[in-house]
A = this chain, B = another copy of it.
Amino acid sequence: MSASSWFTLRWNEGAVELLDQTRLPEEEHYLRLDQVEDLAQAIERLSVRGAPAIGVAAAMGVALGAFNSMADGAEALRSELETEVIPRLRATRPTAVNLFWALDRMQARLREDSGPAKSGADAVRERLLEEAQKILSEDIQTCHQIGQAGLEVVEAGARILTHCNAGALATAGYGTALGVVRAAREAGLGVSVLADETRPLLQGARLTAWELQRDQIPVRVCTDNMAASMMQGGQVDMVVVGADRIAANGDVVNKIGTYGVAVLAQAHGIPFYVAAPLSTIDRSVASGAEIPIEVRDREEVARIGNRVVLPEGVEVEQPAFDVTPCRLVTGIVTEAGVLRAPYESAIVAAFQDS
């Protein structure tokens, strides 16, 4: 991202600024949000999305709540954040675990006893902003590490299929799956991307194609139902996707359609990789079956722009995510290296090392 003139989200003078992803690729419009409620709604309507980016946004939301609070004692501030701000942010989206991971981290920082000299409300405010900024900069750094780790599994000239957007737009910058792509380009491997458009909200067509084009990385788009045909025709060398939550056994919850791509990849002998930070791994859930899957609104399928594409009264299926069983995953690319099956022990080892 260093060469690009855009950013996913940042803190700027008492507000969170973020690129409104619902308006891409038609408009490059930044929102400036100075109220927690506005930020929470921006997360809910997917103006900012992608598991790591949601985590960063929520952390900044806690800092925002702290600066907006009228509390003049550390205790009052802590109470307000814990009973109002953090629960509001926690309720925005249920599936991506980075949201909860980031809020837990902010809460731990909030509760930290920093001694009498540092315990005033303003000191707490500064501490929280510092932590949110740290989560943001660590996220970018982690993405670069994921990209480097991914070099181990990318061959020169690889045509990489990806689903949804696990790019700079889904993180604080650089991306997870697209971080692997960027690192491969920077290493001179000459890779190119085939992006599934990813109905219903078309993150592949609208976002992945947009950010890769901005970075002059070769990208073509296909509708989701063309991926099988592209694989059949020998046009796909590997699949790399992101993740919203990974269970302790390596099952991967990611954008709806990921599971289908994984089945198709296996049927065609194509390696299927997941790229995600360790913060996406939720060791408290044994398998994918335990992870709550967000169900979104019918209108996201039924209407596109001014076009009604579904007869009134016809119902839709609208899970936003699906579960890819670990047996279909060739490897999980993390900042701690590429994890391989059996994932349960590989994950335990990765957390011990990190």
Contacts and interface: CB of A to CB of B under 8 A. Distances in A.
A220 B319 CA distance: 14
Interface in A179-194: 194
A186 to B, nearest CB: 21
A209 B259 contact: no
A9 B309 CA distance: 22
Interface residues of A, number: 56
Given A209-B311, A260-B228, A311-B210, A222 B317 contact: yes
Interface string A290-301: 000000000001
A310 B209 contact: yes
A199 interface: yes
A140 to B, nearest CB: 24
A347 to B, nearest CB: 23
Given A205-B310, A228-B322, A315 B25 contact: no
18 contacts: A25-B309, A25-B311, A199-B199, A199-B223, A205-B310, A213-B314, A219-B314, A220-B314, A220-B315, A221-B310, A226-B257, A226-B319, A228-B259, A229-B260, A229-B319, A229-B322, A260-B264, A263-B267
A310 B206 contact: yes
Interface in A193-251: 194, 196-200, 202, 205-206, 209-210, 213, 219-230, 232
A66 interface: no
A11 to B, nearest CB: 28
A21 to B, nearest CB: 13
A interface SS class: mixed
A225 B196 contact: yes
A313 interface: yes
Given A213-B311, A314-B219, A225 B257 contact: yes
A275 interface: no
Interface string A256-294: 110111011011000000000000000000000000000
Contacts of A199: 197, 199, 223-225
A266 B263 CA distance: 10
Number of copies: 2
Contacts of A156: none
Interface of A: 25-26, 163, 194, 196-200, 202, 205-206, 209-210, 213, 219-230, 232, 256-257, 259-261, 263-264, 266-267, 301-302, 304-317, 319, 322-323
Contact of A225 (B206, B210, B224, B266): B224
Contact of A306 (B194, B305, B308, B317): B305
Contacts of A228: 257, 259-260, 263, 322
A260 B225 contact: yes
A227 B260 contact: yes
Given A213-B314, A314-B213, A202 B309 contact: yes
A297 to B, nearest CB: 13
A294 to B, nearest CB: 13
B260 A310 contact: no
Contacts of A194: 317
